[in-house]
Amino acid sequence: MPTRICIIRHGETDWNAGRRIQGQIDVPLSAAGHAQARATANALRDEGFAALYSSDLVRAKQTAEATAHLVRLSLHFEAALRERHYGVFQGLTHAEVQARYPAAYARHLARDPRFAPPGGESLLDLASRVGAICDDIARRHAGEAVALFTHGGVLDILHRQAMGRPIDAPRDFAIPNCGINWFEVEHGCWQLIAWAERGHLEAAHDEL
């Protein structure tokens, strides 16, 4: 039996709505984000998860807690499921980054795999971190169903790895807040089953 992995991006924050780069800064859910988290919990309540994992950043924790409460499972927190660290970009809007660091922002927009914002992570670093923790969780729960609550950058990497797409290719897929994404893993091979399900939500922002 393949391992079924449901991966959910955290609910909306005020910084998402304001196009402000969060990275690994701890920003809580907005009122809209809490509503999205509750709607997501209701959508997932009958999936029979064996375990729930979450990034240890507060916006992912708060999203995961709604599902954990409803399905009566404890949460396992993994720092490796955090968003990409954006270094000096964190806390700024995209317009502010472009104005202050035009050359660095150009490399960021070009998805240069080796580029790391000063103090932050490159896409290659992120991909290595994400691949390692997600493969490890899949091995822990072979043949079971698990849910992971994480971030847009993590989902971007997983989509590309499952679809065999390079990390420097332009992104042409949405990553909405509290979108539900399903993967199956068998013999270490990831297959994308469903992407960005959002029928349970009234609205979602995609600031990337």
Is 9 within 8 Å of 177 (Cβ atoms)?
A: yes
Set 12, 78, 83, 207: catalytic member: 83
Whether 10 is a known active-site residue: answer yes
CB atoms within 10 A of CB 22: 23
Residue 11 is classified by DSSP as P
Distance separating alpha carbons of residues 159 and 163, to the nearest angstrom: 6
The enclosing H or E element of 23 equals none
Q: Known catalytic residue: 121?
A: no
Whether 203 contacts 23, CB under 8 Å? no
The catalytic residues are 10, 83
